[in-house]
């Protein structure tokens, strides 16, 4: 199964209707657009607002993704939680509902010692017969995971079971560190909204997990990188970087506000509603800059 987890694997945004319920019609449009672009898989994760969903909603979201995807791409469910019991529940529900792999961040409410962190990830690895992607999202939530801990998991469970999304800063050097420390065994994925994709690609990642908002650009960028066309890569890459730089200003809520604005602008979502409370809202001047950069990206892709 792990050999299918590669290429472009976007993190789906969760659309909400005026009653703050998951908008299944918009979710279907989002997934269908991603599949039309030729992605290798779809995921639920941090920009899916999973930490703001109820338990029932998290389980239902993954089930809906499986149903809409209908075997046309790999489905990865983010199952990280504040307790091992919660995380195992989410993992088993996801796999039972047809997800092909799970991904987990550590608990974010406390910095765990390595012994507790090991019990958490080992429990997840043992709970389901599916690959586990270990995610360090410490660039925006939680504490970092050291490279020697990653390698220990890899040694214990093997590269078909344990995969990695190392998003702790500095991302590029951490990718190389894990690559070298594991003797090239670690299969890794870039996050960063695509902002660091060129650098991560050169360091040997197996795939990228961006949001869906700039997915046409990310797919095009991944394809030209695989062909070795650096001139084309940088033309596509620069407007993507500029938009993600705007998103980074306000952390996770910066990503969500701008990403959902773009999803509405593309006609994929009816609303840019986010789960409250939020720490930041898109202002008119940032919106105008996003609009200019989207025009630049669209012209480049054309």
Residue 111 has pLDDT above 90, yes or no: no
pLDDT at 231: 95
Supply 270's token pair: 């009816």
For the domain 2-227, what is the CATH code?
A: 3.20.20.70
Per the annotation, binding residues for pyruvate are 209
Identify the CA nearest to 74 among candidates 124, 25, 48, 39.
39
Which residues lie closer than 8 Å to 192 by C-beta, 6 or more apart?
A: 139, 167, 171, 200, 210, 244
pLDDT at 143: 73
Total-model pTM: 0.96
pLDDT in tens, 211-256: 999 999 999 999 999 999 999 999 999 999 999 999 999 988 999 9
Output the average pLDDT for the chain.
96
94-98, 103-107, 134-138, 235-239: least confident range: 134-138
Residue 139 has pLDDT above 70, yes or no: no
Domain boundaries, the chain: 2-227
């Amino acid at each position: 199964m792990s050999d299918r987890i590669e290429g472009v694997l976007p993190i789906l945004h969760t659309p909400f209707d005026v009653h703050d319920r998951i908008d299944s019609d918009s979710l279907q449009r989002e997934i269908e657009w991603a599949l039309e672009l030729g992605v290798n898989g779809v995921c639920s994760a941090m920009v899916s607002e999973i930490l703001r969903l109820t338990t029932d909603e998290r389980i239902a979201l993954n089930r809906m993704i499986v149903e809409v995807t209908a075997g046309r791409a790999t489905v990865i469910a983010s199952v990280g939680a504040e307790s091992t019991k919660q995380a195992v529940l989410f993992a088993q529900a996801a796999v039972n509902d047809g997800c092909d792999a799970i991904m987990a961040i550590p608990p974010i409410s406390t910095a765990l010692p390595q012994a507790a962190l090991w019990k958490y990830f080992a429990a997840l690895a043992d709970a389901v017969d599916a690959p586990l992607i270990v995610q360090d999202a410490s660039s925006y939530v939680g504490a970092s995971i050291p490279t020697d801990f990653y390698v220990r998991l890899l040694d214990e469970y093997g590269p078909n079971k344990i995969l990695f999304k190392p998003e702790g800063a500095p991302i590029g050097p951490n990718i190389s560190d894990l690559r070298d420390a594991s003797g090239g065994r670690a299969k890794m994925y870039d996050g960063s909204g695509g902002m660091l994709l060129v650098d991560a690609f050169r360091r040997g990642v197996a795939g990228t997990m961006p949001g869906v908002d700039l997915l046409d650009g990310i797919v095009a960028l991944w394809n030209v990188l695989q062909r070795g066309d650096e001139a084309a890569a940088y033309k596509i890459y620069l407007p993507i970087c500029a938009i993600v730089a705007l998103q980074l200003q306000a952390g996770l809520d910066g990503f969500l506000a701008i990403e959902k604005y773009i999803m509405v602008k593309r006609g994929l979502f009816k609303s840019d509603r986010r789960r409250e409370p939020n720490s930041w809202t898109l202002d008119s001047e940032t919106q105008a800059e996003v609009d200019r950069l989207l025009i630049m990206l669209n012209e480049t892709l054309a």
